[in-house]
Chains A and B, each alone.
Chain A
Amino acid sequence: MASLPARPAIAARVPLAGGVVVLYLSVIVLLPLAAVTAKAFDGGLGEFWEQVTQPQAVAALKLTIGVSLIVTAINVVMGTLIAWVLVRDEFRGKGFVNMLIDLPFALPTIVAGLTLLALYGSRSPVGLNVAYTRVGLAMALLFVTLPFVVRAVQPTLQEVDRDMEEAAASLGAGPWTTFRRIVLPNLRPAIVAGSSLAFARALGEFGSVVLISGNLPYKTEVGSVYIFGQIENDNVTGAAAVSVVLLLAAVLLLAAAGRIGRR
């Protein structure tokens, strides 16, 4: 029997509960976003364009998108690899490692930035100083986006039918070939889902990059930091304009990956 909802089975009646939910959503999410969009075009399309094409803004946006892309690419590889090890390998302490993956979710971003700075900053115990560099910036983003691909791929990998791989092996395929032609295609939806979330997160990341990148304009200043700077300098319209660009990029990306509304 199809699982079509029959009569009201739960406490809430649609009109009341629905109304409250929509109101809550509007006040908390929609209204603020509307305000930003309105402000961005406050001075008309011309003003919007001028703000968005400021050299510093353009540099920030280019850097943000570029670094986010690179970081996402690394995540796809490392995330899949880590998921593979967690699902297919057995070793002592695997449970602990599995728990570790969620640390970036559990740790405040500012703390994440500080921890990376402690190890890879000016007082680095291993002599590796990436503070105020793009590498440092990338590392911060790698930290906060780590869980997305891993957690998206893990359950899918778990469910993949081993029989297929065994069949491939019996037909003469080596492990890498089997992975490439049999396993990977089955993981693609999960990888796409995970990496799109990672990318969207990287685009807007602030807390973890604020300390380690040094926020040097044109060098290591990302979009979110630029926006923050513009707010401090009372250029609210400029801040809003660049915000709209970042927002649009993230929304389009998530929609394209079928993420928005999929669940």
Chain B
Amino acid sequence: MKALRFTALGYLAALILVPVGVIFYRTFERGVDAAWHSVTTPEAQHAFWLTLLMVVIAVPLNTLFGVTTALLLERRRFRGKSVLNSLIDLPFAVSPVVVGLALILLYGRTGWFGDWFADHGIRIIFSVPGMVLATIFVCLPFVVREVQPVLREIGTEQEEAARTLGASPAQTFWRITLPAIRLGVGYGVVLSTARALGEFGAVAVVSGHISGVTETATLRVQDRFESFDPVGAYSASVVLALMGAAVLLTMNILERRRRKVA
């Protein structure tokens, strides 16, 4: 067992722990001031703000979709249910770059709806709406897939009991179902948030990389790196890594709560 343990730990250290450590080191290599400065420039601040905007729009929308869809799949019978169920997993099979491509094909200048949106003065591509659509696409499955098993496990009895006690469908949902699934919802939200924070490929295609306008934090990392500004790249990475660590901790806490209840 010792040998297995050291192999596992060695692998994890080499692949994950040490590289992340190096980032922190490189960030402050030229001093804390330099690092601080590079994450507080107007462009940097805008980048982080934009990333958070993506999260704040995409995650709640997705959560609404996720809970509704999970309820539909686990509490109703209807034709085409298995088709719907299969479609949910599609975003896992699509490369982010392809997502970006697809959005350009739909909403770009020469796209299917390009003219309509142009006529109404709405820019999707090279603008925030396109990036939001890309983020929503990649986050789609997370809440559904976390809530579904919980709904299945708790069964319908509590809800039936509530009904016999006079509760309307809405009351049943708010007072009985929702509290029972909240850990699943929470976990799904955390996973979606992490995915939204980290989205790169799709927004890389769709944004046009316009620094200060359509550059998210992840795009900024690449931009700074390719502009030979390593401190800029690493410091932005550290901020994202810290956000990631916060996500990680939340995941851990929720996971432990889940295991306690189970």
Contacts and interface: CB of A to CB of B under 8 A. Distances in A.
Contacts of A120: 19
Interface string A65-89: 0000000000000100110111011
A224 interface: yes
Contact of B72 (A21, A86, A99, A197): A21
Nearest to B171: A11
Interface residues of A, number: 93
A42 B200 CA distance: 28
Interface in B200-240: 200-201, 204-205, 217-219, 221-222, 225, 233-234, 237, 240
A106 B194 contact: yes
Q: Is the interface of B mostly helix, strand, loop or mixed?
A: helix
B221 A25 contact: no
Which of B78, B87, B93, B222 has the largest count of A CB atoms less than 10 A from its CB? Answer: B93
Contacts of A110: 198, 200, 218-219, 221-222, 237
Given A142-B15, A254-B89, A17 B97 contact: no
B137 A111 contact: no
B160 A28 contact: no
A206 interface: yes
B101 A231 contact: yes
Contacts, number: 289
A51 B248 CA distance: 42
Interface string B7-36: 111011001111110110010000000000
A219 interface: no
A125 B21 CA distance: 12
Interface string A219-235: 00001110110010000
A20 interface: yes
Interface in B118-167: 133, 136-137, 140, 145, 148-149, 155-156, 159-160, 162-163
Contacts of B234: 114, 118
A189 to B, nearest CB: 16
A143 B200 contact: no
- Which 10 pairs across A and B sit closest by C-beta, in order of nearness? A204-B95, A108-B198, A32-B102, A261-B86, A207-B200, A206-B201, A250-B93, A115-B19, A106-B244, A35-B105
Interface of B: 1, 4-5, 7-9, 11-12, 15-20, 22-23, 26, 65, 68-69, 71-72, 75-78, 82, 84-106, 111-112, 133, 136-137, 140, 145, 148-149, 155-156, 159-160, 162-163, 169-170, 172-174, 177, 191, 194-195, 197-201, 204-205, 217-219, 221-222, 225, 233-234, 237, 240-241, 244-245, 247-249, 251-252
13 contacts: A10-B173, A10-B177, A17-B71, A36-B102, A89-B5, A99-B248, A102-B248, A106-B248, A108-B199, A115-B237, A119-B22, A204-B97, A231-B104
